Structure 1
Amino acid sequence: MIVLKTSRELKIMREACRISANALKLAGKAVEPGVSTWEIDRLVRRYIEEQGATPSFLGYGGFPASACISVNDVVIHGIPHKGTILKQGDIVSVDVGAVFEGFNGDNAYTFPCGDVSSEAQALMDTTRESLYEGIKAAKAGGRIGDIGSAVQRYAEARGYSVVRDYVGHGVGAKMHEDPSVPNYGTPGRGVRLLPGMTIAIEPMINQGVKEVKTLADGWTTVTADGKLSAHFEHSVAITPDGPVILTLPD
């Protein structure tokens, strides 16, 4: 069931999204050679809790950390570890969510660790821009397929593949709500976009094949061919005046 948010609920959700965005910004500043993903996760949790919020991911379905931190060929759901030390040239996808007064904010960004290869930078640039292409298509009266089609066209035109196994989603009182928001699709198809809907648009774009596999820990999802993957995400409100990005940092 799709839940349309009231103006009061959107106001609360904006604060959850602001906290999530600031936590993600803080994580990005910490991405440096020699830093462990565990240290970054600690920073994220401390900031969210200092803001009077709760990390959305901690304990969600049994996930053991406050942020998903996915390095290089890890697509999503990377578990932070003390032994995972970032090195020069890594690309680091950080996914962060916060719950504030019963509402969730959710966002992700892929950060370069020091200087990265031109190939890695091109993948990150394309994934980020495909997100904004999807957001531009998220107009009231349109369809979910408009969003996925915009993301898919942009990424595939540049030689990349779009992950099919994981998609975006509605977000609000629950971290994952209806509708699903695929990063591929056909314009004019799918659920109609209505004012009051809040969705998380999150392209996961691979350098090689679109197929992925999940490791033995049940969470860490990697590219099937070992090539790089990038992940960007914003929580977005559908309004009569166009899409509004909620997850913007201070």
Structure 2
Amino acid sequence: MRNYQFTGPLRPVYPLSEKRLVPPHIARPDYADHPQGFSACEAVREKGVKILTKEEIAKMRYVCKLAREVLDLTASHIKPGITTDELDAICHQACVDRNSYPSPLNYAKFPKSVCTSVNECICHGIPDQRPLVEGDIINLDVSLCECFHADLNATYPVGKIDQESQDLIDTTRKSMEEAIAICKPGVPYREIGNKIEEIVRPKGYSIVRRYTGHGVHNLFHCQPNVVHYGGSKMPGKMEAGQVFTIEPMINLGTANLDHWRDDWTAVTMDGRRSAQFEETILITETGVEILTRPPTSSSSSHNKKKKKKSKSKTAVGGGSGGVSTPGEGDETPEVGTPTGEVADGVEGLEVDGSS
């Protein structure tokens, strides 16, 4: 990064730790051992958006459940002083413990098992030796594979954060939630971006255009490309059996971005903060199912059981009871993570031999 003009205060701390190993008994995607991290499966031209069978949907439900567990576990360790590399180690082990492959590892040569995007980093941050500090915000983007891929992320505060950052996080989450709520068969994909714009515009924030949501199943990234800004001409309508992500990236300032010389880390051009949330969703016959979220029915049932127990105990005891500026961020969208070219920049990052 010598002579690189950083856009904000965030700095990487090298060397990176050694590449973490995945036991040989765990099934691996086709890019896992490719020297360039190339996926031959993803290179095959798609004829359209895949409609999953009942068996494939069952597999997606299972892997998405595991991914949620991994994200929640990793996020529980966020605190001032922990490094993003330590979070990567936690996430990697959590995937391995579930007999799953961490999808980012070696994908187009990404060197780690999770993306950790701090402050002005929009997405694809590479875990390194920088400790988190009080007041940071961090996005954890977790993906894992057990024949099928699951993909989700969320932005978290590190200790106490300022109100501006909290408002950004809250608005970003709300924009994703409301976009998911309109999904059902027959709805045009472009309505997702229109809904997100409706939530974000009054706040004066901007929406990143360079990266999109994407289809996900036995392929990590595939059709459809889901744009998150309003007024797009994105073709196509949702159909039952389709699975894809919605993952808006919302910036306090400009939508324009730059990339560090690792060819992965995307940062805001003005150095102001960015937040993102992502879920993997299934279009059902009547609406939408969020695969990467625990079923509401389970929690309701759990709460009912707890209430029943409380009532019985009481009886026994006898007691009482942002605006996008025209022309900004108009780059051609990329599907989630870049797949068109290898991230050669990671080869230049010195690697520490310790694990």
TM-score for both structures, normalised by structure 2: 0.68
> How far, CA to CA, are the matches of 1:4 and 1:26 in structure 2?
31
Amino acid of the structure 2 residue aligned with 1:172 = H
Secondary structure of the equivalent of 2:288? strand
Amino acid at match of 2:196: V
2: CA distance between counterparts of 1:48 and 1:194? 31
The separation in 1 between residues aligned to 2:270 and 2:234, in whole angstroms, is 31
Asked if 1:24 corresponds to 2:71, the answer is yes
Alignment partner of 1:30: what SS? coil
Q: Which amino acid aligns with 2:154?
A: Y
Partner of 1:125: 170
- After superposition, the C-alpha distances for 1:121-167 in whole angstroms (9 at most, x for unaligned) are 00000000000111012211111001111112111121110000111
CA contact (8 A) 2:115 2:140 kept: yes
- Residue 317 of structure 2 corresponds to which residue in structure 1? none
* SS of equivalent residue, structure 1 residue 180: strand
Post-superposition offset of 1:35:
0.2
1:76–1:220 contact (8 Å) kept in structure 2: yes
The alpha carbon displacement at 1:186 in A equals 3.5
Q: What is the distance in 1 between the residues matched to 2:240 and 2:202?
A: 31
Task: Answer yes or no: is 1:242 the counterpart of 2:287.
Answer: yes
Change (3 A) 1:167 1:188: closer
1:149-160 aligned at under 5 Å gives the runs: 149-160=194-205
CA distance 1:187–1:140, shift in 2 (3 Å) = farther
CA distance in 2, matches of 1:27, 1:157: 33
- Pairwise mapping of residues 21-170 of structure 1 onto structure 2 (< 5 A)? 21-81=68-128, 83-100=129-146, 102-170=147-215
Deviation at 1:28, TM superposition (A): 1.2
Which letter maps to 1:71? V
Question: Secondary structure at the residue paired with 2:203?
Answer: coil
After TM superposition, the runs of 4+ consecutive aligned structure 1 residues lying more than 6 A away are none
- Cross-structure match for 1:4: 51
Q: Larger % of strand: which?
A: 1
Cα distance in 2 between the residues matched to 1:196 and 1:146:
19
| Separation (CA, whole Å) in 2 of partners of 1:134 and 1:190 | 17
SS at match of 2:168: helix
Equivalent pair of 1:67/1:80 in contact (CA under 8 Å): yes
Measure, in 2, the Cα distance between the counterparts of 1:31 and 1:190.
Answer: 40
> Residues of 1 paired with 2:185 and 2:233: CA distance?
12
Structure 1's 180 and 188: CA in aligned 2 closer, same or farther, altered over 3 A? closer
Residue 9 of structure 1 and its aligned partner are, at CA, apart by 0.3
**Paired letter, 2:105:** L
State how far apart, in whole Å, the 2-side matches of 1:188 and 1:182 are: 10
Tell me the secondary structure at the aligned position of residue 176 of structure 2.
helix
The percent of aligned pairs where both chains have the same amino acid is: 38
Q: Specify the code of the residue in structure 2 equivalent to 1:178.
A: Q
Task: Work out whether residues 146 and 189 of structure 1, in 8 Å CA contact, stay in contact via their aligned partners in 2.
Answer: no
Mapped partners of 2:218, 2:196: distance in 1:
26
Q: Deviations over 1:45-96 (max 9, x none)?
A: 1011111111111110100011000000000000001x21100000000100
CA distance in 1, matches of 2:78, 2:217: 29
SS of residue matched to 1:157: helix
SS at match of 2:76: helix
Code of the residue aligned with 2:145 in structure 1: it is V
Whether contact under 8 Å (1:93, 1:110) holds in the other structure is yes
CA distance in 2: counterparts of 1:153 and 1:225, whole angstroms: 23
When residues 49 and 249 of structure 1 are mapped into structure 2, their CA distance, relative to the original with a 3 A threshold, is farther
Letter of the aligned partner of 2:120 in structure 1? D
- Gapped regions of structure 1 (runs ≥ 5): none
Structure 1 residue 189: Cα displacement: 5.5
User: Larger Rg: 1 or 2?
Assistant: 2
Q: Is the CA contact 2:246–2:280 (under 8 Å) kept in the aligned structure 1?
A: yes
Q: TM-score w.r.t. structure 1 length?
A: 0.96
Q: Which moved more, 1:177-186 or 1:37-46?
A: 177-186
Question: 1 CA distance for matches of 2:234 and 2:259?
Answer: 30
Deviates more, 1:187-196 or 1:32-41: 187-196
| RMSD of equivalent CA atoms | 1.3
In the alignment, which of 224, 230, 255 is matched to residue 179 of structure 1?
224
Determine whether 1:194 maps to 2:239: yes
